[in-house]
Structure 1
């Protein structure tokens, strides 16, 4: 099929193949780069938030809890602000009241929580079990689909490292009376020192970030297609002017010479390969004229 095509058509076909290949490779590379950038952006947001929540937990543990711990036995109702997990969760819920962050989520997903709002669902339970089965794992990241859309999550294990934490979680007998009065004696007990009891999770919505990346990809690809198209058209125009048209002229003159019209000359307008070819044809025509004259003289 290619053999039957004219030279101009072959050049156009090659340029189109190069154009399509260039667009495909550029699009794939750009898509990967933008996807990596979007994932890095949501990861950065999640890490910032999880560090903020850890700061709230540390402040509660080191400053709030010592001030209020003595009142847990005398108060009729448990003071949840003494619990780092409660403080972090409440602070994050206030943070989510901002319309911009309403789809961000924080949870200390616990298998056996005191407050049932912290109970791990099936997905979170698998993460806690994975942390328990693989103690060397310090962080798990990924994407999951929730009712609000797809989110990127970071999960880290929560380990009981302080004996003071077991006051409320070892046995009901050791727990503050106000805790039993508020939450009962059924949940949140039996924890052990150095045991992984929960997964600290931050979920950041990723749909908008990746949608923005896709829009950027579409915009950049549109610009690239336009640039490639202009380049291909310019190359095609240049090839026709600099290569195809001179070759066509040489072909027409050669056809005239082949029919005996020795007055036709091969036009040499450049010193490139096309010009060299025209000069070679002129020399060949001159040699042919000399040879024909010699033949005519011999015949006479």
Structure 2
């Protein structure tokens, strides 16, 4: 089938194959680059926020708790601002009042929390379980589906590293009276030093970022298709003008010569390969004409 195609058709077929392969490879490579860029962006956002929350936790533990710890035994109600997890959560909730952060989430998901709002759901409990099973794991990240869309999360283990934390979480008889008055004796006890009791999880909405990456992909691919199409048309025009038309002209003259019209001339001024071919045909025509004249003289 390919043997029956003309040079122009064969060349166009090759160009189309090169065009399709180039677009396909470029599309895959570009998609991977943009997806990686989008994931790096949401990861960077999550890491900045989790570092900020850790700063709040550290300040609460080292300053606020120190100032208010003595009042926990005398106050009628527990002072939650002394708890790093509470401070970090409240600060983040204030941050979420800004429109651009309203879909961000922060939680110190705990298996046995004092405050039940920190209770880990099934998904979060599995993450805590992984941290407990392998203490070498210091971070888990991935994507999770929520009703509002897909989010990217980063989770880090939270362990009991300071002895004073056990004052509120070892046994009810050691806990401050204000804590028992506010939360009771059923939850948040039995913790031990160095135990991983929770996972610090920050969730960043990712659909907008990846949607932006998809729009960028569509735009760039559209430009590439347009550029490739223009290049193919331009190459096709140049090949037709500089090669195919000249070969067709030589073919037409050769047909005239083959029918005995020796007045036809392979007029080609160019010195490239096609010009050399035309010159060779002219020499062949001249030789053929001389041979035919000699043959005619002999016959006469």
TM-score, normalization by structure 2 = 0.99
| Distance (Å, rounded) in 2 between the aligned partners of 1:144 and 1:187 | 28
Deviation readout 1:237-268 (Å, 9 max, x if unpaired): 00000111001001101111111111111121
Q: Secondary structure at the match of 1:106?
A: strand
| Distance (Å, rounded) in 1 between the aligned partners of 2:140 and 2:265 | 79
- What are the equivalent positions in structure 2 for 1:17-28 lying under 5 Å apart? 17-28=17-28
| Distance (Å, rounded) in 2 between the aligned partners of 1:195 and 1:287 | 102
Q: Secondary structure at the match of 1:290?
A: helix
Q: Secondary structure at the match of 2:107?
A: strand
Per the alignment, residue 29 of structure 1 pairs with 29
Per the alignment, residue 214 of structure 1 pairs with 214
Shift of 1:298: 2.3
Q: Secondary structure at the match of 2:190?
A: coil
| Distance (Å, rounded) in 1 between the aligned partners of 2:152 and 2:291 | 85
Per the alignment, residue 192 of structure 1 pairs with 192
Per the alignment, residue 171 of structure 1 pairs with 171
Q: Secondary structure at the match of 1:152?
A: strand
Per the alignment, residue 141 of structure 1 pairs with 141
Per the alignment, residue 8 of structure 1 pairs with 8
Shift of 1:272: 1.2
Q: Secondary structure at the match of 2:53?
A: helix
The number of equivalent residue pairs is 300
Shift of 1:13: 1.3
Deviation readout 1:133-156 (Å, 9 max, x if unpaired): 111010011001011100000000
- What are the equivalent positions in structure 2 for 1:258-269 lying under 5 Å apart? 258-269=258-269
Shift of 1:286: 1.2
Per the alignment, residue 158 of structure 2 pairs with 158
Shift of 1:3: 1.4
Per the alignment, residue 289 of structure 1 pairs with 289
Per the alignment, residue 236 of structure 1 pairs with 236
Deviation readout 1:75-112 (Å, 9 max, x if unpaired): 01000000000000000000001111110000000001
1:298 aligns with 2:282: no
1:107 aligns with 2:107: yes
Q: Secondary structure at the match of 2:286?
A: helix
| Distance (Å, rounded) in 1 between the aligned partners of 2:218 and 2:261 | 59
Q: Secondary structure at the match of 1:103?
A: coil
Per the alignment, residue 251 of structure 1 pairs with 251
1:85 aligns with 2:115: no
| Distance (Å, rounded) in 1 between the aligned partners of 2:226 and 2:115 | 59
Per the alignment, residue 203 of structure 2 pairs with 203
Unaligned runs of 5+ in 2: none
Per the alignment, residue 42 of structure 1 pairs with 42
| Distance (Å, rounded) in 1 between the aligned partners of 2:209 and 2:58 | 31
TM-score, normalization by structure 1 = 0.99
The CA RMSD measured in Å over matched residues stands at 0.8
| Distance (Å, rounded) in 2 between the aligned partners of 1:124 and 1:287 | 92
| Distance (Å, rounded) in 2 between the aligned partners of 1:157 and 1:20 | 48
| Distance (Å, rounded) in 2 between the aligned partners of 1:115 and 1:269 | 93
Shift of 1:4: 1.6
Q: Runs of at least 4 residues of structure 1 off by over 6 A?
A: none
| Distance (Å, rounded) in 1 between the aligned partners of 2:270 and 2:43 | 61
